[in-house]
Amino acid sequence: ESPLPLREEFMSMHLSTPYQITKMLGELYCNFFYHHYGLKVVKPRFFNSYGPGEVPGQYRNVIPNFIYWAMKGLPLPITGTGEETRDFTYVGDIVDGLLRAGAMESAVGQEFNLASGKETRIIDLAHMINEATGNKAGIRFVQRRKWDTKDRLLASIDRARELIGYNPGTTFEEGLKHTIDWFKENWDKIEEAAKFGPGVSSAVREIVVKVK
């Protein structure tokens, strides 16, 4: 396990998913074209981005799935103990960081974390969403996924602050409210999107069928 908060130089070569591997490969390609051809690149690393516009589904993040299930009146499934933490970053702060990175020479050739710099326990996330949506079904614990090996995740944003003046200004409570409000405003479209699969909706379909 890398020490927390996770700094840019702590990059493990023992990755858990093909997704993580493709991210590393992308950075290696960036390094190659930057050093050999002078192509200007920046290498932002996102941490658990969330916000309006992301629909639930098998390959989505925990927040849109939790909100969807809560609004359906279903118990929220927690894989593990619930003590696991993640560094959730609001999409608006991610966009601000990207715009800064694209406009500032100081970012060229650099890797840096775009994160909130704060930890949130998954069990606290579940309780917050249930309370905000009025879901009385609570939570349920399910078997942890084999590839999900990280108990804690917290990023250092010191380098992003130094390079591009990155300063995430959205609290987790504010970001979660914006996201839930978007779900409520677009519920019919989200329900329609959840009918399609398998990549978009199989996880959503599976839990709805099991609970029923």
Decide if pLDDT at 120 tops 70. Answer: yes
Q: Is residue 13 part of a domain?
A: no
Q: Is residue 8 part of a domain?
A: no
CA angle 123, 184, 120 (to 5 degrees): 20
Residue 50 contacts residue 115 (beta carbons within 8 Å)? no
Q: What is the mean pLDDT of residues 174-200?
A: 85
If you average pLDDT over every residue of the chain, what do you get? 88
Q: Round to whole Å and give the CA distance between 209 and 80.
A: 22
pLDDT for the residue numbered 54? 92
CATH of the domain at 46: 3.40.50.720
Domains of the chain: total:
1
Give 77-90 pLDDT, tens digit per residue.
998 899 999 999 99
Q: Is residue 4 part of a domain?
A: no
pLDDT band at 212 (very low <50, low <70, confident <90, very high): very low
Higher per-residue pLDDT: 208 or 15: 15
Q: Is residue 5 part of a domain?
A: no
Look at the block and give the residue holding tokens 């990175």. Answer: 101
Q: Is residue 2 part of a domain?
A: no
pLDDT for the residue numbered 204? 46
Decide if pLDDT at 23 tops 60. Answer: yes
Q: Is residue 159 part of a domain?
A: yes
- Give the residue numbers spanning the domain of 146: 18-211
Cβ partners under 8 Å of residue 108, min gap 6: 34, 40, 41, 42
pLDDT for the residue numbered 207? 42
Decide if pLDDT at 56 tops 60. Answer: yes
Q: What is the mean pLDDT of residues 67-71?
A: 96
pLDDT for the residue numbered 197? 52
